């Protein structure tokens, strides 16, 4: 079936179930699901019930699309996201972003768990993405262009929305949130990097490394959706601090930072004007 038709069928199914047009889309990363507790939920749909929707295979990711209010703003929250390393194509990874666009979102908020490459960063701190480097080996825009969704060659000179970044920096200072700005590098995964690879990523200009976010950002920017993204730094990947780490430790570090992340996203959305 045609990819655009699949997007429209998924969207139509959701619209039949939910009489709610969200203003903001929110994608929650590994161990970062607590924001949902602050959403006044109007409706929720399991991914597996939505036609053509992928289903997360990562144990720490549930699979629910949640509709409701965060403060007085209408949001749709992806509790559980998809990754290239799960075996999905980039078009499948970014399918939900396409659907959220057709549902009506005006802005996209993305969170992720990532490794700190910048020696000025510490575990469980937050990094606002002000740029990224794409080292993933596929791109969601490869193939026939969806002209209804955007241009063939989208400009990426401002991948992350400067106004929302400035608002977040101000909120971070006011609320004493441990907060940085930096460059995120997206890699395939699922293995973590070698010491030599960490060194290389730092040399090319990255402050944090992860396995998500970049594909969703590319698709959102093609559709002219402003994006605000935050990394929770779950492990230290610079000389003198590199050690073996488990998924459980990543989730533990993410959960420690979760109250800060939740506060930041809530306040950024509250202060934002569509």
- In terms of pLDDT, which residue wins out, 80 or 89? 89
Q: Name the residue with tokens 């109250």.
A: 259
**Three-class DSSP category at 204:** coil
CA 261/CA 233 separation, integer angstroms: 11
pLDDT, tens digit, 9 for 90 and up, residues 191-243: 999 999 999 999 999 999 999 999 999 999 999 999 999 999 999 999 999 99
Domains: count for the chain: 1
pTM of the model: 0.95
3-state helix, strand, coil in the chain (%, to 5): 35, 25, 40
pLDDT at 112 > cutoff 60: yes
DSSP 8-class letter at 195: H
What's the alpha-carbon Rg for the chain, to the nearest Å? 18
Q: According to the model, what pLDDT value does residue 57 have?
A: 64
Among candidate residues 52, 68, 53, 63, the one with its CA nearest the CA of residue 18: 68
What CATH number is associated with residue 262?
Answer: 3.40.50.1580
CB-based contact 83:96 (threshold 8 Å): no
pLDDT, tens digit, 9 for 90 and up, residues 183-197: 999 999 999 999 999
Q: Which domain holds residue 126?
A: 3-271
pLDDT at 58 > cutoff 70: no
Q: According to the model, what pLDDT value does residue 80 have?
A: 87
Tokens of 129: 């993405």
Tokens of 33: 């699901």
Residue 199 burial (CB count, 10 A): 16
Dump the DSSP string for 51-77.
Answer: TT------TT---EEEEEEETTEEEEE
């Amino acid at each position: 079936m045609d990819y655009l038709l699949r997007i429209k069928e998924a969207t139509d199914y959701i619209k039949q179930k939910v009489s709610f047009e969200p203003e903001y889309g929110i994608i929650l990363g590994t161990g970062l699901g607590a924001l949902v507790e602050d959403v006044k939920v109007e409706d929720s749909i399991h991914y597996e019930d939505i036609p053509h929707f992928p289903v997360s295979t990562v144990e720490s990711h549930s699979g629910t699309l949640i509709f409701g209010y965060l403060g007085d703003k209408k949001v749709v929250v992806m509790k559980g996201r998809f990754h290239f390393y799960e075996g999905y194509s980039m078009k499948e990874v970014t399918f939900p972003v396409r659907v959220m666009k057709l549902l009506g979102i005006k802005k996209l908020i993305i969170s992720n768990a990532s490794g700190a490459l910048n020696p000025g960063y510490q575990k469980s701190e937050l990094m606002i993405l002000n740029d990224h480097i794409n080292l993933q080996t596929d791109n969601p825009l490869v193939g026939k262009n969806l002209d209804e969704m955007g241009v063939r060659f989208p400009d990426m000179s401002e991948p992350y929305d400067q106004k929302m970044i400035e608002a977040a920096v101000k909120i971070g200072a006011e609320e004493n949130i441990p907060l940085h700005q930096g460059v995120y590098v997206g890699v395939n995964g699922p293995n973590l990097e070698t010491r030599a690879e960490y060194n290389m990523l730092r040399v090319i200009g990255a402050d944090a490394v992860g396995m998500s976010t970049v594909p969703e950002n590319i698709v959102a920017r093609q559709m002219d959706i402003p994006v605000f993204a935050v990394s929770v730094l779950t492990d230290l990947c610079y000389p003198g601090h590199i050690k073996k780490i488990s998924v459980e430790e990543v989730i533990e570090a993410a959960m420690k930072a979760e109250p800060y992340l939740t506060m930041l996203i809530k306040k950024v959305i509250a202060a934002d004007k569509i």
